[in-house]
Amino acid sequence: MTAIKPIIEEGWKEVLMEEFLSPYFSSLKEFLVEEKRNYTIYPPGNLIFNAFNHTPFDRVKVVILGQDPYHGRGQAHGLCFSVPHGIPQPPSLVNIFKELHSDLGIPVPAHGNLELWADQGVLLINATLTVRDSQAGSHQNKGWETFTNRVIEKVSELKSGVVFLRWGRYAQAKESLVDGSKHLVLKAAHPSPLSAYNGFFGCRHFSRTNEYLQKQGQEKIDWRL
């Protein structure tokens, strides 16, 4: 069962230790053990906490929240909206790149791997960190949302000057978890093809994020991939 042990960066481990020791997290681990016994789940166990390992707690500058990992083979690798090299870009990611190009003139990348963003301090987390193969939402309401809500609360509580990008109603519903007096919260429609034209396109969140970071005396994000 080593595949589902928390393999997580030391700073996050310290901040989140109370969660890992909580009854709800023990129940979540039991659920995942049973799921792995009977189904294929994504991402692989060693990548469940990939976002945290690429973005140590002390380096978090930006938080982007997704809802569920991709549920197709080879897509999910622990970073929301991102796919590994060699995997076609999903529709929402295509629209993210379109807005990035419109906002900053950055050429649309040939791949969909966002690790370079994560390595610069962009925490790319989903509300639910695992999913059953081909079954969207199959691991919702099992404890992950409690965990990731605490992640957001801890970033808000212990840090200042972080940009929270809220794309879509689901992410915006968690706005109460963030202290808006010491962080910047930017809201827009979800980049999905179903909603991108309702306010995601033209939101200029990438340039606005960098303007805020620079005003805070922080290094801006190089959004190029």
Catalytic residues: 68
Q: HSE of 209 in the Cβ direction (CA atoms, 13 Å)?
A: 26
3-state helix/strand/coil string of 127-186:
CCCCEECCECCCCCCCCHHHHHHHHHHHHHHHCCCCEEEEECHHHHCCHHHCCCCCCEEE
Number of H helices, E strands in the chain: 8, 6
Residue 20 · residue 154 · CB < 8 Å: no
Q: How far apart are CA 184 and CA 133, in angstroms?
A: 35
With tokens 């999905």, the residue in question is 192
Nearest to 3 by CA among 63, 55, 43: 43
Report which secondary-structure segment, H or E, holds 123.
Answer: strand 122-126
Pairing relationship of beta strands 131-132 and 41-42 according to DSSP bridges: antiparallel
Nearest to 178 by CA among 190, 166, 170, 191: 166
Alpha-carbon separation of residue 182 from 4, 155, 159, 175 (angstroms): 35, 11, 9, 13
